[in-house]
Amino acid sequence: MSVSYWLGVDTGGTFTDFVLLGDGEPRIHKVLSTPSAPEQAILQGIAELGLKDAMAAGQLAIVHGTTVATNAALEGKGARTVLITNHGLEDILRIGRQNRAELYNLTPTPPPSMLDTVNVEGSPARLDARGKEVIPLSDADLTQLVEKVLAHQPQSVALCLLFSYLNPAHEQRIRQALEAAGLPVSASHAILPTRGEYERGMATWLNAWLAPKVADYLQRLQQATDPAPLAIMQSHGGTIASDQAAGLAVNLLLSGPAGGLAAARRLGEQLRQPRLMTFDMGGTSTDVALLDGDLRLTQQGHIGPYPVAVPMVDMHTIGAGGGSLAYVDDAGL
């Protein structure tokens, strides 16, 4: 089978957009999104473009930018997650870097966060700063930890231990035990193998929090479009096979917006205008970025209130789109 058509699909909170290449002039199409099951809008667009036969014959390749992870994060609709860290570090994600929005307010009120609802369990095992074992992970400790996690009835588990990027042995043992118990696990040594427990922990928690929803969606989409090759846009502007993307939800937080930024760069090249400001308002969120020739990547990005240390295009996303509701409070704000 050889691919004859390339279909770009961008699913937003309100509309799902299509660009088809390989059939003479590029064709564009738009349908209303189906947020409860985004694959339905994609299948509708494929049918309306007359591509069902090409898809069934494996002649259609799909490149998909999705906002499933983005919107779930902004709307606080992730999975019920348990965080595992070391004893004594159970509050590390809540404490963060102590960056305050109100610098001179002596009695600030912390904004509500989904982290307030996360159950945390500590492991007594410990590594030193060189990755050498200081306190071993005994079989009894591992069994007790698994029992505590299962008692919370989680849908997903985030696992972030000190210095696991130097020596992942403890995380690997805990991950294997939890997966044997039927739980999906996001381990920090696989998600973001770098120093900085807060940033690494946040990326791991975000991945665990969002992965079940993303994996369920991509599995449904893959089954519905099989045998067509399906690639997913990542936050840094590259693509990944859908079966690999399912476990790397944190890398898809700017999946849809990154595709738009890549298109803006291409237009800038054609117009000989390499320096551009992009403003992309969808129904759910709004994305703003600057272009100076090539895409700029950052590991200090944010999605709403959450820092995201995995590589992504340098873009600011806020949870206010064309379909957002605004109100005036009693103080006139």
pLDDT tops 70 at residue 132? yes
Q: What is the pLDDT of residues 9-20, one digit of tens each?
A: 999 878 899 999
pLDDT band at 203 (very low <50, low <70, confident <90, very high): very high
Section 158-184 average pLDDT: 96
Q: What is the pTM of this model?
A: 0.85
C-alpha atoms less than 13 angstroms from C-alpha of 121 in its C-beta half-sphere: 22
- 318 is a domain residue: no
Look up the domain containing 135 and give its range. 78-211
Instruction: Identify whether the C-beta of residue 118 lies closer than 8 Å to the C-beta of residue 81.
Output: yes
Whether 29 and 140 share a structural domain: no
Whether 199 and 138 share a structural domain: yes
Whether 120 and 101 share a structural domain: yes
- 260 is a domain residue: no
Which of 209, 178, 205 is closest to 80 using CA atoms? 209
Whether 193 and 220 share a structural domain: no
How many domains are there within the chain? 2
Q: What is the pLDDT of residues 225-276, one digit of tens each?
A: 999 999 999 998 889 999 899 889 999 988 888 888 888 998 999 999 999 9
Whether 114 and 127 share a structural domain: yes
- Predicted pLDDT at 29: 97
pLDDT band at 84 (very low <50, low <70, confident <90, very high): very high
- Predicted pLDDT at 145: 97
C-alpha atoms less than 13 angstroms from C-alpha of 113 in its C-beta half-sphere: 17
pLDDT tops 80 at residue 51? yes
Instruction: Identify whether the C-beta of residue 230 lies closer than 8 Å to the C-beta of residue 222.
Output: yes
- Predicted pLDDT at 320: 81
Compute the mean pLDDT over every residue in the chain, rounded to the nearest whole number.
91
- 170 is a domain residue: yes
- Rounded CA-CA distance 310/207 in Å is 11
CATH of the domain at 193: 3.40.50
Q: Which of 184, 211, 238 is the last residue of a domain?
A: 211
Whether 33 and 87 share a structural domain: no
pLDDT tops 60 at residue 1? no
Whether 155 and 172 share a structural domain: yes
